[in-house]
Amino acid sequence: MALSRRAVISWLTLLPAVAASVIAMAGLFGARREPFSSAFFTDPFFVHTLSFSLFQAAASCLLSLALAVPIARALTFHPRLLARRWFLTLTALAFVMPSFVLITGLMILFGADGWLNFGQDRPWSLFGLQGILLAHVYLNMPLAVRVMYQALQSIPADSWRLARQQRLSGWQRWVKLEWAAIKPHMGLLAAFIFVLCFNSFAVVLTLGGGPKSTTLEVAIYQALKYDFNLSEAILLSLVQALIAGSVLLAAGYSGKTSLFRIAQRHRTADISLSPTAARNHAAVYGLAWVFLLLPIIAVIGKALGSATVVAIAPIAAATAQSVLIAGTAACIALPLGWAMLWPLRLSRQRHPRTALWAEWFAVHHMVIPTMVIGVGWFAFFIQKVDINRYALVFLITLNALILVPFVVLHLKPLLVLWDQKHQRLLGNWRPSPWNRFFIEWRFIKPTLKPLLALLLVLALGDVPLFALFGQSDQPTLTWYIYRLAGTYRLDSAAQAALILLALSSLLIFWMEPRHARSQ
Amino acid sequence: MFSFRHLAFAPFLKPSLLAACVLLAPAAFAQTLTVYTYDSFVSEWGPGPQLETLFEAQCHCDLDFVVSADGIAMLNRIRLEGKTTKADVILGLDNLVLEQARREHLVQPHGVDLSPLSAALNWTDADFVPFDYGYFAWIYDTTKITTPATSFETLIASKARIIYQDPRTSTPGFGLLVWLNKLYGDRTPAIWQQLARQTETVSQGWWEGYSLFLNGGADYVLSYTTSPAYHVLAESDNRYAAAPFDAGHIAQVEVGAISANSQNVVLASDFLTFLLSPEAQTVIPTTNWMLPVIDGVALDAAFDGAVPTVALPVDTLWVQEQKNSWTRAWRSAVAQ
Amino acid sequence: MLEVNDVRIARAPLDFHFEFSLPNQGVLLIRGPSGEGKSTLLDALGGYIPIDSGTVTWQSQAIGQLPPEKRPITSLFQSHNLFDHLTVGANLATALPHISEVDRKNALTALGVDAHYHKYPTALSGGQRQRVGLIAALLRPEPLVLLDEPFRELDPDTRLRVILWTLEQIQSLGKTLLLVSHNPDDDLFIKRQVTDVREYVVRLKEDHSGNGLPQSG
């Protein structure tokens, strides 16, 4: 196969992502002192860690998906649910909730004085596998609800009517209509949630409750930081990337799912709903509200209930710093991710295998722990440039790179569909490259607002990169919260966390389709 | 006492005085002392800002903090920088990790007169100068527990819920590891297993565990004997106390050292000497919430219980040699 | 002269075989039962699916292996002939940058869709969209035009008007036209208007479906 000039240029767009990983690896390899040792892999603790990582990720993923089904169905079938649009906004917020805020909320709820404390004999503790699962379900079930709801919404009204006419039973309708609509999205959705849980860090570290419940990601952190055993960290992250990468790649085949979009308008499915069924749907819906809202209310209660009030000036400065870094990173990640889809799109039809590689390079930062990239860069640049002087450049660049996979995941299904539909028209009309870019830009523009909000909120939560590159006199909001908490100022930390939560909520509210249009 | 300190300073002050008076261009020629330290040390509530003002007033130099997230991150940074490090002073390692820095030749002898140090510290290290310290202890709420544990045995017998930090990722957690091995030697894994039964959680860092405890998540949390003083002085809350153990406590001693690559050895040594001065030591207790390393610093009564009756000495080399096997023993004891 | 020589395309389980020629400015009506390869032929000529063997030449130049945008061909497909997120005006500006806005508007007027200049295609009826797509295809500079059932969704009155306009453009611009049609009335009408109309009936060469045996050769 002779590569056209266009194909060669298109592959160059992947250069930033690949170069970033090469730099990180060069940094780690250059700084490592211990030889690689395979003995580590036969260590029973490694085997335990690996199997626990896989188990908790699979369990979190299955639970999230299973619990999402009844909620998505309730949203679709019940004709009069109070504040349906607000609920969808809440699901978006829950998905991007900074883990610090969620963990604080859960700890308040399940603490000894918490509302959900079950008495002295403690039959249930927040710490351990159950705590990890709870937090992971909180973070990921809402995403599954959104995707499933979206899928159910895409079933044409005629199909529902047809099902009615053919007197399909509830089960038959589930198999023939509902599951058939959800199924094509399950692959990517399950893979995505699995990878998020597999790579989960703060939740496992805080709620795991000890070395019994530890994951590869935590082991990588310990090897990188506390043992300073970079060889071990490299090997561990290789294992991690291989597993998470193959899961994501396997799902890439069926990737026609937009993970982060939601329809403008709600249509209630036209089915006959018995009063019992309606009651059940309403109950599921109500429980989902309570589940998603409780940790948020707990954080608000804690923050407002405290006698001291956190100083506003440093919080405002930290917020500005956060917005500067997250905003710039998101604005860089967007065109970068868009461009990185180019080689995939060029090769998708004729060379699916090549396209798979192109996709892998575009999203591979999702499976490499942020800390590995961060420490690798730190090790690479520390002797070459004044890291403190260019702290902002490093923070923005690395945050942008971390966000690119989310841009790719968002835009890929849109643009693949676009190509299928319009590739021939473009071949026909032959617009200039600039014109082509402009037409495509007009096409993706309306979908970018939700994406941008998602990227911003994700970047706001960054801790590992700031810990490496940040300037202590210009902390981000998240870092400032950790600093407050680390110096006994726990009430102030809760208040600052509330501000982070409010900022995230504002962004999410802004990204969701207009509320006025509901009903 | 003050005059004595002043004498110790005099020889080191000369070069900078010369620069200031003779060359009449202090801004252009003032030396810069680069101090590597950890984040909370220089935060708006930490001792950093006050110490900087105090020291710059007497050295006529520019004190430049380069900040890492915590002590370990700082150590890693210096390791990665190797010969290119700009550090003159490395501030914020402690007695539990300092042997790593020494073994990797990251520091050089400080030449500081250690005689002002409190005798209780029994400190004679040629490379590291202590600037504050605190004892690890179990903190409890006096409104809930009237007869606190006096030993690990009574703690276990009480079946009280405890929270401690991961020895692999947290200084107090590591302190507990050393503490138990110091007291129980080969019997430590059995103690770990017994503690595991009443452990609410092993938290990653100090504050996660501590905040959980404050929210009522456990009866005891592992922290410092100085922790109750924070609640008294900053929050006027005297509910919390450290449980004194009869067998004794071990201390975390935070130290400063001169970087092996420093070109500013004299000024660096000046700074470490300054840290032992009464004015610097007065700043530390209520900013870093640790104890002063010299005698005679006026302390609020809130710190009264902070010095235990029995202080167990820690052999830093022994810690360095044993820590991996201790950690593995802990891991397998509690992961069962 | 367009020459299609012994072109074979295997689209499992079907095998297609095409062979015909058409002089410059000629009109070719392509007929045949549905599902037997008319659209496949147009896609192959347009360059959207590869041909397995045989040659396609235009003015003695081989064009069978060129990418779509390098071929002297414009196509009007059965659907997706406009960008849904661009207005009719913006669509035509994209398709026809070489002619003036006045000319584009005139073409819309000629086909009775000038009132929709600022609307999005989704707000138009199927027939209206088809007319806008037809304008874009016919007024492109490429000499060969492939139209896949372009009059299908038009009502009888509009239909004649659009066919007449189409033939007018073909003649005045000197185009060579390949047209897939299902409507015998249309075919008859075209034959009456144009003297040299050829016909090409597409039939399946072989059907391997369900045979399951390995193919020889």
Are there at least 3 beta-carbon pairs closer than 8 Å between A and C?
yes
Taking the Cβ of residue A284 and every Cβ of chain B, the question of whether any pair is shorter than 8 Å is answered with: no
Q: Are B117 and B278 in contact (CB under 8 A)?
A: no
Q: What are A71's two structure tokens?
A: 């909620």
Taking the Cβ of residue A45 and every Cβ of chain B, the question of whether any pair is shorter than 8 Å is answered with: yes
CB nearest C86 (choices: A423, A427, A439): A439
**Cβ contact, residue pair A382, B214, below 8 Å:** no
Residues of chain C with pLDDT under 70: 204-217
Q: Are A60 and A137 in contact (CB under 8 A)?
A: yes
The label of the residue with tokens 């992502």 reads: A17
Helix (H) or strand (E) run with residue B162 in it: strand B162-165
Q: Which has more confidence, A409 or B138?
A: B138
Sheet holding C53-58, edge to edge: C61-62, C53-58, C2-11, C14-22, C206-207
Helix (H) or strand (E) run with residue B259 in it: strand B249-259
User: Which residues in chain B are contacts of A390 at CB distance < 8 A?
Assistant: none
What is the arithmetic mean of pLDDT over B234-254? 93
**Cβ contact, residue pair A210, B168, below 8 Å:** no
The vertex-B291 CA angle with B285 and B293, nearest 5°, equals 115
Confidence of residue B8 (pLDDT cuts 50, 70, 90): very low
Q: A516 CA to chain C: closest CA distance, Å?
A: 23
> Using DSSP, how many helices (H) and how many strands (E) does chain C show?
6, 10
Per-residue confidence (pLDDT) for residue A124, from 0 to 100? 67
Q: What are B80's two structure tokens?
A: 């990665």
Q: A291 CA to chain B: closest CA distance, Å?
A: 21
Question: What does the longest C-alpha to C-alpha distance in chain B come to?
Answer: 71
Q: Are C164 and C197 in contact (CB under 8 A)?
A: no
Residues 472-491 of A with CB under 8 A from B: 472-473, 482-483, 485-490
Cα→Cα distances A203→A63, B170, C103, Å: 16, 17, 64
Per-residue confidence (pLDDT) for residue A184, from 0 to 100? 86
Interface of chain A against chain C, CB under 8 Å? 421-431, 435, 439, 442-443, 446
Instruction: Give the number of A-B residue pairs with CB atoms closer than 8 Å.
Output: 125
The vertex-A382 CA angle with A381 and A387, nearest 5°, equals 90
The vertex-A143 CA angle with A137 and A145, nearest 5°, equals 90
Q: Which has more confidence, A511 or B149?
A: B149
Per-residue confidence (pLDDT) for residue B28, from 0 to 100? 44
Per-residue confidence (pLDDT) for residue A123, from 0 to 100? 55
**Cβ contact, residue pair B39, A483, below 8 Å:** yes
Residues 164-193 of B with CB under 8 A from A: 166, 168-169
Q: B1 CA to chain A: closest CA distance, Å?
A: 32
The label of the residue with tokens 């160059």 reads: A12
What is the arithmetic mean of pLDDT over B111-131? 93
Per-residue confidence (pLDDT) for residue A113, from 0 to 100? 64
pLDDT in tens, B59-95: 889 999 999 988 888 999 999 998 889 999 999 999 9
Which value, in Å, is the radius of gyration of the alpha carbons in chain C? 18
**Cβ contact, residue pair A439, C48, below 8 Å:** no
**Cβ contact, residue pair C75, A428, below 8 Å:** yes
CB nearest C74 (choices: A423, A428, A431): A428
To probe the interface with C, which of A414, A426, A429, A435 has the most C CB atoms within 10 Å? Answer: A429
Q: C26 CA to chain A: closest CA distance, Å?
A: 21
Q: What are B49's two structure tokens?
A: 């800002």
Q: Are A219 and A211 in contact (CB under 8 A)?
A: no
Chain B: touching chains (3 or more CB pairs < 8 Å): A
Can you say whether the dihedral through the CA atoms of B98, B99, B104, B109 is positive or negative? positive
Q: A227 CA to chain B: closest CA distance, Å?
A: 8
Per-residue confidence (pLDDT) for residue A422, from 0 to 100? 87
What pTM was estimated for this model as a whole? 0.84
pLDDT in tens, C67-84: 888 899 999 988 888 988
User: Which residues in chain C are contacts of A429 at CB distance < 8 A?
Assistant: 94-95, 136, 140
**Cβ contact, residue pair A314, B203, below 8 Å:** no
Per-residue confidence (pLDDT) for residue A208, from 0 to 100? 83
Residues 129-188 of A with CB under 8 A from B: none
**Cβ contact, residue pair C85, A429, below 8 Å:** no
**Cβ contact, residue pair A424, C80, below 8 Å:** yes
Per-residue confidence (pLDDT) for residue B157, from 0 to 100? 95
Nearest residue of chain C to residue A417 (CA atoms)? C80
Torsion (CA) A483, A488, A494, A499 in degrees, nearest 10:
-30
Judged on CB neighbours under 10 Å (0-12, 13-18, 19+), A71 is buried
Q: Which has more confidence, A162 or B54?
A: B54
d(CA B188, CA B75): 29
User: Which residues in chain B are contacts of A212 at CB distance < 8 A?
Assistant: 334-336
Per-residue confidence (pLDDT) for residue A253, from 0 to 100? 59
Taking the Cβ of residue C45 and every Cβ of chain A, the question of whether any pair is shorter than 8 Å is answered with: no
Taking the Cβ of residue B335 and every Cβ of chain A, the question of whether any pair is shorter than 8 Å is answered with: yes
Q: What are A25's two structure tokens?
A: 């690896």
pLDDT in tens, B271-317: 999 999 999 999 999 899 999 999 989 889 899 888 898 999 999 99
CB nearest B72 (choices: A112, A226, A379): A226
Number of neighbours of residue B334 by Cβ within 10 angstroms = 19
Nearest residue of chain B to residue A113 (CA atoms)? B216
To probe the interface with B, which of A226, A299, A375, A463 has the most B CB atoms within 10 Å? Answer: A226
Residues 111-140 of B with CB under 8 A from A: none
Alpha helices by DSSP H, A253-369: 275-304, 312-347, 352-363
Q: Are A493 and A105 in contact (CB under 8 A)?
A: no
Q: What are B235's two structure tokens?
A: 């929050």
Per-residue confidence (pLDDT) for residue A122, from 0 to 100? 57
Per-residue confidence (pLDDT) for residue A287, from 0 to 100? 96
User: Which residues in chain A are contacts of B103 at CB distance < 8 A?
Assistant: none
Taking the Cβ of residue C46 and every Cβ of chain A, the question of whether any pair is shorter than 8 Å is answered with: yes
Q: Quote the mean pLDDT of chain B.
A: 87
Taking the Cβ of residue B325 and every Cβ of chain A, the question of whether any pair is shorter than 8 Å is answered with: no
Q: B211 CA to chain A: closest CA distance, Å?
A: 7
Q: A32 CA to chain B: closest CA distance, Å?
A: 9
User: Which residues in chain C are contacts of A422 at CB distance < 8 A?
Assistant: 80, 83
Per-residue confidence (pLDDT) for residue B26, from 0 to 100? 42
Confidence of residue B154 (pLDDT cuts 50, 70, 90): very high
d(CA A480, CA A312): 12
Of the candidates A458, A71, A513, A494, the residue with the CA atom closest to the CA atom of residue A303: A494
Q: What are phi and psi of C213, to 5 degrees?
A: -85, 150
pLDDT tens digits in sequence order for chain A, 519 residues long: 445 787 888 899 999 999 999 999 999 999 888 888 877 778 888 888 999 999 999 999 999 999 999 999 999 988 888 888 889 889 989 988 888 889 888 888 876 666 666 555 555 678 889 899 999 999 999 999 999 998 998 888 888 888 887 888 888 888 888 998 998 889 889 999 999 999 888 888 888 888 888 889 888 988 888 888 889 899 999 999 999 988 888 886 555 666 766 666 788 887 778 888 899 999 999 999 999 999 999 989 888 887 778 888 899 999 999 999 999 999 999 999 999 999 988 888 778 888 888 888 888 888 888 889 999 999 999 888 988 889 999 999 999 999 999 999 889 888 988 888 888 888 888 888 899 899 999 988 888 888 898 899 989 988 888 888 988 888 999 989 888 887 778 788 888 989 999 999 998 888 776 544 433
pLDDT in tens, B21-30: 444 444 445 7
Nearest residue of chain A to residue C44 (CA atoms)? A424
Instruction: Give the number of A-C residue pairs with CB atoms closer than 8 Å.
Output: 47
Specify which residues B199 forms β-bridges with: B162
**Cβ contact, residue pair C69, A425, below 8 Å:** no
DSSP letters spanning B175-209:
HHHHHHHHHHGGGHHHHHHHHHHTEEEEESSHHHH
Taking the Cβ of residue B216 and every Cβ of chain A, the question of whether any pair is shorter than 8 Å is answered with: yes
Helix, strand or coil for residue C175?
coil
pLDDT in tens, C77-120: 888 889 888 899 999 998 999 999 999 999 999 999 999 999 99
To probe the interface with A, which of B34, B37, B42, B43 has the most A CB atoms within 10 Å? Answer: B43
Q: B162 CA to chain A: closest CA distance, Å?
A: 12
Per-residue confidence (pLDDT) for residue C56, from 0 to 100? 93
- The residues near A331 (Cβ < 8 Å, ≥ 6 apart) are none
